[in-house]
């Protein structure tokens, strides 16, 4: 079985950061393999290890994301595709339908049996790309999957709110968005990391995928970026651990929960 | 302009977020003296319609097809409903099921979708406010198109009240059964030995605890308080505590007298599940969103503060 896994590099802001216009300077940002994608990748790699097959990753992003792509290669992906060019770089934001269009073209070119994605990315948290991608392809889909068995169909557990799971059978081919906790993502060995450093990453432009700039035009414009005003009214205690612990103990005693 | 809000129900109950959706939609429709249309698909539509017929709802469109949510049915029904009603904005809750069909509706209609809105406004075009980077940053997005699809964050709008006199209209959706390619075969509740929703005192632990072995210090604190141990998502995902201990959207909503959050950053998915009388947070990141909801906090290393607190409580 051939599984394509979408891999995103996510950014997180440092404790102290500054916003300049519509951007946060990269020195205040840390990057990593998107947490959800790590679980999607592990699920695909385990299926390929158990039953044979190939795991191919697809990433939209500039050359700078190759470190993250290599993390995915070190954790068991067989090949990696990265899509980027000047037209993508010129976009204001990469919205879900744009991502779905680009990733859909990669799927068309690769013809996998299944596509795994993370449920969402940790930085912009759109959570809409998996279903938009399935719709672009005309495929079936299953989202927020935290348990998966594959035979003629994909038997999935979908994690709903409030400790409830929906049991659903999804026809194939399908796009499945994978929830954290479905497995335990592996740590790459030093040997795997070294191998991944030397691996070739297949880089493609929109033209390579038979897409033109009109296909990725987005009507969504970012107009502001700011730190939300604090609405918190917490009393913050300062001092040594002993001092703050004494303050907290007094608060706890005041609540009357200690009987 | 017209706003179309798609209600959500599950296992025979209209979900409360549907009423928040009405309030958000009404506000948006009012900005342009427009109409508020509501769509309800599958299940006991008569009963749901009764509850959805709130003040200022103009039309409730009902689609009688099947019982439970099925995204292939919803995608077809809502796409057709948007084509018929021609709303400027179609809204759904930012829930697991809302995100399971609205992106497909947007893709089919070739209209932009923005998810997890915390504020909406309309002045010649739609403006959506949403969070980035775990709530540490907010952004506004302008959408300059004839139509757009938006999901709204639960808990960000009040619930619509009053009783309305909406027109009830049966919508004849043509559902192509060959395009229904997923089948819901059942539901499974995640239970366990412990019901954290019943506890008066909860000590909840998050990612900051770093390893399973370190849980010992929060267990000691819980013991000193005769409290129940709970957790945020990363601890459950790592298998360090069972799923019945999870507080938040995916897990349980809790309302203890005292809630002590240890090493929990405070994502909206977590804090939306906590309604504590007294809320204490211990975290070494002063900008962690948990301090936005806490009553008392300590910004310091939990590995020092927690044992010191246990010591204090044991002594007294």
Q: What is the mean pLDDT of residues A73-102?
A: 96
Is the pLDDT at A81 greater than 80? The verdict is yes
Cα three-residue angle B276-B281-B286, rounded to 5 degrees: 135
Contact check, Cβ <8 Å, A244/B308: yes
Per DSSP, the three-state class of A226 is strand
Contact check, Cβ <8 Å, A248/B108: no
Residue B198, Cβ density class (10 Å: 0-12 exposed, 13-18 middle, ≥19 buried): exposed
A87 lies in a domain? yes
CATH code of the domain covering residue A88: 3.40.50.620
A138 lies in a domain? yes
Q: Which two tokens stand for residue A62?
A: 């500039």
Of all residues in chain A, the percent with pLDDT exceeding 70 is 100
CA distance linking residue B138 with residue A226, whole number of Å: 5
Contact of B113 with B102, CB cutoff 8 Å: yes
CA distance linking residue A162 with residue B186, whole number of Å: 16
Per DSSP, the three-state class of B98 is helix
Domain that holds residue A186: 2-216
Residue of A154, A161, A167 to mutate, interface with B, max B Cβ within 10 Å: A161
> What pLDDT is recorded for position A49?
97
Give the start-to-end residue ranges of the domains of chain B: 3-179, 196-315
A237 lies in a domain? no
Among all chains, which residue has been given the structure tokens 């757009």?
B148
pLDDT digits (tens, 9 = 90+) for A21-67: 999 999 999 999 999 999 999 999 999 999 999 999 999 999 999 99
Is the pLDDT at A169 greater than 90? The verdict is yes
Q: What is the mean pLDDT of residues A101-126?
A: 97
Fold match, B3-179 / B196-315 = yes
Is the pLDDT at A17 greater than 80? The verdict is yes
CATH of domain B3-179: 3.40.50.620
Q: How many domains does chain A have?
A: 1
A212 to chain B nearest CA, in Å?
16
Whether omega for the bond prior to residue A173 falls within 30 degrees of 0, making it cis, is: yes
Cα three-residue angle A143-A89-A141, rounded to 5 degrees: 15
Beta bridge partners of B169: B61
A64 lies in a domain? yes
Is the pLDDT at A259 greater than 80? The verdict is no
pLDDT digits (tens, 9 = 90+) for A176-232: 999 999 999 999 999 999 999 999 999 999 999 999 888 888 899 999 999 998 888
Of all residues in chain A, the percent with pLDDT exceeding 90 is 91
State the pLDDT confidence band at A93, using cuts at 50, 70 and 90.
Answer: confident
CATH of domain B196-315: 3.40.50.1220
A257 lies in a domain? no
> What pLDDT is recorded for position A230?
82
A249 lies in a domain? no
For chain B, residues with pLDDT lower than 70 are 316
A199 to chain B nearest CA, in Å?
30
> What pLDDT is recorded for position B192?
80
Contact check, Cβ <8 Å, B298/A136: no
Residue of B133, B207, B231, B283 to mutate, interface with A, max A Cβ within 10 Å: B133
């Amino acid at each position: 079985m051939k599984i394509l896994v979408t891999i995103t590099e996510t950014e997180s802001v440092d404790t102290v950061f500054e916003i300049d216009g519509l951007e946060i300077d990269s020195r205040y940002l840390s990057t990593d393999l998107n947490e959800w994608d790590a679980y999607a990748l592990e699920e695909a790699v385990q299926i390929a290890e158990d039953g044979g097959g190939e795991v191919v990753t697809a990433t939209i992003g500039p050359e700078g994301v190759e470190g993250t792509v290599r993390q995915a290669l070190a954790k068991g992906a067989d090949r990696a595709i990265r899509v980027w060019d000047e037209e993508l770089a010129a976009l204001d934001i990469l919205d879900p339908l744009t991502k779905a269009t680009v990733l859909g073209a990669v799927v068309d070119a690769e013809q996998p049996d299944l596509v795994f994605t993370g449920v969402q990315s940790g930085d912009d948290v759109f959570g809409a790309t998996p279903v938009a991608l399935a719709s672009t392809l005309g495929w079936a889909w299953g989202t927020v999957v935290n348990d998966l068995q594959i035979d003629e169909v994909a038997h999935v557990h979908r994690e709903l709110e409030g400790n409830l799971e929906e049991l659903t059978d999804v026809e194939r081919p399908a796009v499945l968005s994978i929830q954290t906790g479905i497995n335990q993502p592996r740590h790459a060995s030093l040997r795997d990391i070294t191998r991944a450093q030397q691996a070739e990453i297949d880089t493609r432009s929109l033209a390579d995928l038979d897409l033109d700039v009109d296909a990725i035009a987005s009507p969504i414009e970012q107009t502001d970026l700011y730190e939300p005003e604090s609405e918190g009214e917490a009393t913050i205690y300062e001092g040594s651990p002993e001092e703050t612990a004494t303050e907290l103990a007094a608060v706890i005693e005041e609540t009357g929960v200690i009987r | 302009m017209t706003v179309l809000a798609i209600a959500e129900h599950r296992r025979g109950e209209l979900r409360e977020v549907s009423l928040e959706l009405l309030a958000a939609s009404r506000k948006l429709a009012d900005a342009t003296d427009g109409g508020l249309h509501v769509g309800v698909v599958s299940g006991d539509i008569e009963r749901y319609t009764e509850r959805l017929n709130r003040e200022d709802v103009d039309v409730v469109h009902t689609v009688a097809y099947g019982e439970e949510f099925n995204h292939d049915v919803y995608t077809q029904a809502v796409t057709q409903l948007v084509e018929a009603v021609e709303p400027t904005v179609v809204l759904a809750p930012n829930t697991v099921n809302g995100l399971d069909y609205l992106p497909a509706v947007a893709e089919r209609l070739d209209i932009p979708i923005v998810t997890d809105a915390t504020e909406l406004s309309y002045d010649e075009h739609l403006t959506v406010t949403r969070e980035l980077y775990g709530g540490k940053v907010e952004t506004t997005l302008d959408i300059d198109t004839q139509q757009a699809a938006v999901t709204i964050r639960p808990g960000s709008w009040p619930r619509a009240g009053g009783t309305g006199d909406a027109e009830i209209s049966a919508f004849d959706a043509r559902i192509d059964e060959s395009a229904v390619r997923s089948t819901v075969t059942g539901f499974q509740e995640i239970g366990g030995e412990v019901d954290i929703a019943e506890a008066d005192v909860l000590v909840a632990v998050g990612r900051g605890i770093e390893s399973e072995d370190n849980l010992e210090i929060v267990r000691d604190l819980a013991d000193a308080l005769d409290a129940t141990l709970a957790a945020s998502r990363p601890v459950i995902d790592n298998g360090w505590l069972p799923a019945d201990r999870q507080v938040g959207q995916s897990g349980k909503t809790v309302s203890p007298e005292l809630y002590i959050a240890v090493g929990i950053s405070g994502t909206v998915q977590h804090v939306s599940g906590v309604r504590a009388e007294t809320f204490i947070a211990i975290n070494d990141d002063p900008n962690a969103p948990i301090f936005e909801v806490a009553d008392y906090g300590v910004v310091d290393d939990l590995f020092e503060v927690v044992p010191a607190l246990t010591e204090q409580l044991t002594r007294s």
